[in-house]
A and B are shown apart, each in its own frame.
Chain A
Amino acid sequence: MSGLNLRGAYAIFSFELMRAFRTFFQSIFAPVMTTSLYFIVFGAAIGGRMSHVGGVAYGAFIIPGLLLLTLLGETTSNASFGIYMPRFTGTIYELLSAPVGVAETLLGFVGAAAVKSLILAAIILITASFFVDYHIAHPFLALGYIVLVAAAFALFGFALGVWADGFEKLGIVPMLILQPLTFLGGTFYSIQMLPEPWRSVALFNPIVYLVNGLRWTFTGQSDVNIWISFGLTVGFLVICASVIAWMFKTGWRLRS
């Protein structure tokens, strides 16, 4: 075996998916429950008073933002736990001693985290349909963008899982960085609704571009140039992949 060990990558991939289904309530049910609550509070309760944003019903307007709110957190957490737990329990010895390199490892771990996110996104969209009427303007672009974001944040989560040396650090980034940035990133509102200087300040929040990128694929409307959204997402993916490649090359926090 001198080329890519695709069976090895598939073994990691299927093992990781199996882990998610073993923790069904935590991996699938809990995010769906949380998203449903958001729809009830923001979509039904507040949405009734907001009616429309930029010609789109408020309930439908918040779907892309809510989808990203869940996806970013869950994808990052899934991928970071996926690699952190073997480090924590010591089972990483098997991965490091196997004929798998960075490519197989990422295909396995990141692929599984991304697939879990796609399943989650589908379930959230089905859940949303029970609360609001919505229409996806560019369904294939929406799917492609969700895959891109899921892959980028799965890579980010993987790097986080290698970096973290404790459970606290593992939780800090999704809870204290991603979640606040997502809430302030136009999940529930258009940044055009913000007064200055907050509207300009919001443009420094990278999540604004992600939310608007996805929102454009759903509604055809965006507060920002969607090419910037696309470019930022691809750039973030490349940076995360490069960081992970460096981690494997140097063995940083993986090999002693």
Chain B
Amino acid sequence: MEPILEISGLSKHYANGPIALDNVDLTIGKGEIFALLGPNGAGKTTLIGAVCGLVRPSSGTIRAFGLDLAHDWRRARARIGLVPQEMATDMFTKVIDAVSYSRGLFGLKRDPARIEEVLRSLTLWDKRDSQIRHLSGGMKRRVLIAKALAHDPELLFLDEPTAGVDVELRRDMWRQIGAMRQAGTTIILTTHYIEEAEEMADRVGVIDKGKLLLVEDKAKLMARMGRVEADVSLTAPLSEIPAALGHFPLHLSDDKLTLTYRGAGESAEAKAELAQMIAALVGAGIAFTSLDTHQSSLEDIFVDLVEQGK
């Protein structure tokens, strides 16, 4: 995959403060959606800020589109967009003026047709003459996205794009982010909603205390670290796990009434093994009243990783 962003040895130390970024290396490929996950204060926003020019790195290099941001920042920044976490807009400005301003700021000619297209894609066209202060929270966030898209960035940072928006709007935003990717935009997003990363990301990175704990393809990560679990409620207590079931990863509860299966690896394989285990259970004449299965989510994996990091 052709790299669009290459971060190498990036650190940020605040005077008399914590280390916000600790020797971060990260490469983002063109056209992918990359989700950066981490608890509050992990360094996600600092990392985005360092790329976008809001934070001065203490050390390290950042290259975007093959350009060194320390020297070719004008050319590089012209191709990068940022949707900030905070709802920072000039509240007294009309929507259309705010979006047109952003396009001009990034050095592009006025293009009313393109502005209309951006506003329509975010269902803001009907609100174009409204002052931003009169919009709902979700609409304000759309304005921030419209401002970031006004100069057609090739690399877009979305810092908590759906924070504080309702479920319906969140799903709507996911669709829009998907459409941006279809249009060829590379997207790096941070989010607290792990479900969001699970839904959209091609790759995920987990950061904590300024350190990048891992970067991996989402599907591979879930296959590698995910688990299929099943609780089998038995009709009668078992004294021990029968020999016929001994080769399955099973655990018998203290009250001897629940058998718990924990299958690791590819979920399809684990599910197949679970089916074999149930067949063996029936074959051994062990009766049960219920079966409760659970597949670990990206959120479970994320929590495990951060816990291990501590």
Assuming the A-B contacts A255-B55, A256-B49, are A22 and B80 also in contact, with contact meaning beta carbons closer than 8 angstroms in the complex?
no
Does the CB pair B104–A1 fall under 8 Å?
no
CB of A251 closer than 8 Å to a CB of B? yes
> Chain A contacts of B86 at CB under 8 A?
90, 93
What is the number of contacts between chain A and chain B, taking CB atoms within 8 Å? Answer: 84
CB of B138 closer than 8 Å to a CB of A? no
Q: How far is the CA of A93 from the CA of B128 in the complex (A)?
A: 22
Q: Give the nearest-CB partner of B157 in chain A.
A: A97
> Chain A contacts of B53 at CB under 8 A?
96-97, 255
Q: How far is the CA of A18 from the CA of B92 in the complex (A)?
A: 11
Does the CB pair A91–B78 fall under 8 Å?
no
Interface string of B78-120 (1 = CB under 8 A from A): 1010101010111110000100011111111100000000000
Does the CB pair A89–B105 fall under 8 Å?
no
Q: How far is the CA of A40 from the CA of B82 in the complex (A)?
A: 53
Contact among A10, A15, A99 with B77 in the assembled complex (CB-CB below 8 Å): A99
**Taking the nearest CB of chain B, how far is it from the CB of A139, in angstroms?**
35
Q: How many residues of A contact B (CB 8 A)?
A: 29
CB of B280 closer than 8 Å to a CB of A? no
Does the CB pair A100–B84 fall under 8 Å?
no
Does the CB pair B49–A2 fall under 8 Å?
no
Does the CB pair A8–B77 fall under 8 Å?
no
Q: How far is the CA of A78 from the CA of B91 in the complex (A)?
A: 18
Does the CB pair B104–A7 fall under 8 Å?
yes
> Chain A contacts of B91 at CB under 8 A?
89
Q: Give the nearest-CB partner of B131 in chain A.
A: A22
Does the CB pair B75–A2 fall under 8 Å?
yes
Interface centre among A2, A10, A11, A96 (most CB of B within 10 A): A11
Q: In the complex, which residues 191-239 of chain A have their Cβ closer than 8 Å to any Cβ of chain B? A: none
Q: How far is the CA of A9 from the CA of B97 in the complex (A)?
A: 16
Does the CB pair B88–A1 fall under 8 Å?
no
Interface string of A1-20 (1 = CB under 8 A from B): 11101011011101100100
Assuming the A-B contacts A97-B52, A99-B73, are A91 and B101 also in contact, with contact meaning beta carbons closer than 8 angstroms in the complex?
no
Q: Give the nearest-CB partner of B87 in chain A.
A: A90
CB of A95 closer than 8 Å to a CB of B? yes
Q: In the complex, which residues 19-70 of chain B have their Cβ closer than 8 Å to any Cβ of chain A? A: 49, 52-56
What is the interface of chain A mostly: helix, strand, loop, or mixed? helix
Contact among A1, A12, A22, A101 with B92 in the assembled complex (CB-CB below 8 Å): A22
Instruction: Please list the 10 inter-chain residue pairs (A to B) with the smallest Cβ-Cβ separation, ordered nearest first.
Output: A11-B104, A90-B88, A97-B52, A99-B74, A99-B77, A99-B78, A5-B107, A98-B105, A11-B105, A1-B78
Q: How far is the CA of A96 from the CA of B92 in the complex (A)?
A: 21
Contact among A2, A8, A97 with B104 in the assembled complex (CB-CB below 8 Å): A8
CB of A94 closer than 8 Å to a CB of B? yes
Does the CB pair B106–A8 fall under 8 Å?
yes
Does the CB pair A91–B90 fall under 8 Å?
yes
Does the CB pair B109–A7 fall under 8 Å?
yes
Q: How far is the CA of A54 from the CA of B134 in the complex (A)?
A: 58
Q: Could you give 27 example pairs across A and B, Cβ below 8 Å? A: A1-B74, A1-B75, A3-B74, A5-B78, A7-B107, A7-B108, A7-B109, A10-B104, A11-B103, A12-B105, A15-B97, A15-B101, A18-B97, A86-B90, A89-B88, A91-B90, A93-B54, A93-B82, A93-B84, A93-B86, A93-B88, A94-B105, A97-B53, A99-B78, A99-B106, A101-B74, A255-B56
Q: How far is the CA of A95 from the CA of B75 in the complex (A)?
A: 15
CB of B147 closer than 8 Å to a CB of A? yes
Does the CB pair B75–A96 fall under 8 Å?
no
**Taking the nearest CB of chain A, how far is it from the CB of B23, in angstroms?**
19
> Chain A contacts of B54 at CB under 8 A?
93, 96-97, 255-256
Q: Beyond the given A93-B84, A97-B54, A97-B82, please list 15 additional residue pairs across the A-B interface where CB-CB is below 8 A.
A: A1-B78, A2-B74, A5-B107, A11-B105, A12-B105, A15-B97, A22-B92, A86-B90, A90-B88, A94-B88, A94-B105, A94-B147, A97-B80, A99-B78, A256-B54
